[in-house]
Chain A
Amino acid sequence: MIFNFARKSAPGSTASLFDLEEGRTAILGDFDLPEHLADQLMNLGFVPGLEVKVTRSGPGGDPRIYRVDGTEVALRRELAERMRVSQPPASSGVALECGDRMATPVETRRYAGPEGISALTPKLEEAGD
Chain B
Amino acid sequence: MGVIANASCHAPKAGVREGVARTVAVVGPPNSGKTTLFNRLTGLRQKVGNFPGVTVEHHLGVVRDEHGREVALVDLPGVYSLNPKSEDERVTIDVLTGRMPSMTQPDAIVLVVDSTNLNRHLVLAARVIALGLPTLVVLNMADELRKQGGHIEPLELARHLGTPVALVSATTGEGIEAVTRFMGADVARPNPLDLPVLQDTRGCREWAAKIGVNASYRKPATPVWTERLDSLFLHKVLGPVIFAAVVVMVFQTIFAVGQPLSEMFQELLDFTGNRVAAWLPSGLLESLIINGLWNGVGSVLVFLPQILLLFLVIGVLEDSGYLARAAVIADRTMARVGLNGKCFIPLLSAYACAVPAIMATRTIENKRDRIATIMIAPFMTCSARLPVYTMFIAAFLPNKALLGPFLGTRAAAMLGLYALGFVVAVVTARVLKSSVLKSKDAPFMMEMPPYRWPTLRSLGLRLVDRGKAFLVRAGTVILAVSVILWVLTNFPMHNGQPPEIQDSLVAKMGHLIEPAIAPLGFDWKIGVGLVSSMAAREVIIATLGTLYGIDAESNDIDLQAALRQDMTPAAALALVVFFAFAMQCMSTIAVVRRETNSWKWPALQFAYMTGLAYAAALVVNQALG
Contacts and interface: CB of A to CB of B under 8 A. Distances in A.
Do chains A and B stick together as partners?
yes
Given A37-B442, A45-B120, 13 more contacts: A56-B230, A58-B329, A59-B236, A59-B329, A71-B117, A71-B448, A74-B328, A79-B443, A100-B221, A102-B212, A104-B213, A104-B218, A108-B209
Interface string B193-220: 0000000011101100110110001110
B445 A40 contact: yes
A49 B445 CA distance: 20
B80 interface: yes
A21 interface: no
A15 B329 CA distance: 26
A38 B256 CA distance: 45
B80 A101 contact: no
Contacts of B206: 111, 113, 117
Contacts of B448: 65, 71-74
A119 B345 CA distance: 45
9 contacts: A36-B83, A44-B447, A45-B120, A48-B202, A56-B230, A71-B117, A74-B331, A76-B443, A104-B218
Given A56-B234, A69-B120, A108 B446 contact: no
B441 A34 contact: yes
A69 B119 CA distance: 8
B335 interface: yes
Interface residues of A, number: 46
Contact of B218 (A55, A72, A103): A103
Interface residues of B, number: 48
Interface string B431-465: 00000000001111111100000000000000000
Interface string A67-92: 00111111110110000000000000
A50 B42 CA distance: 39
A70 B120 CA distance: 8
B364 to A, nearest CB: 14
Contacts of B335: 62, 76
Contact of B219 (A41, A63, A74, A100): A100
Contacts of B239: 59
Contacts of A43: 80-81, 123-124, 201
Nearest to A60: B332
B2 interface: no
Contacts of A111: 205-206, 209-210
A33 B505 CA distance: 60
Interface in A7-50: 34, 36-37, 39-45, 47-50
Contacts of A71: 117, 120, 447-448
B119 A72 contact: no
A108 B213 CA distance: 7
A107 B209 contact: yes
Contacts of A128: none
A108 B329 contact: no
A93 interface: no
A59 B218 CA distance: 35
A98 interface: yes
Going nearest first, the 7 A-B pairs with the smallest beta carbon separation are: A103-B212, A43-B80, A72-B448, A42-B201, A103-B217, A111-B206, A111-B209
A63 B85 CA distance: 25
A74 B444 contact: yes
Contacts of B445: 40-41, 44, 73-76, 79
B222 interface: yes
Contacts of B203: 114
Central interface residue in A41, A42, A108, by most chain B CB within 10 Å = A42
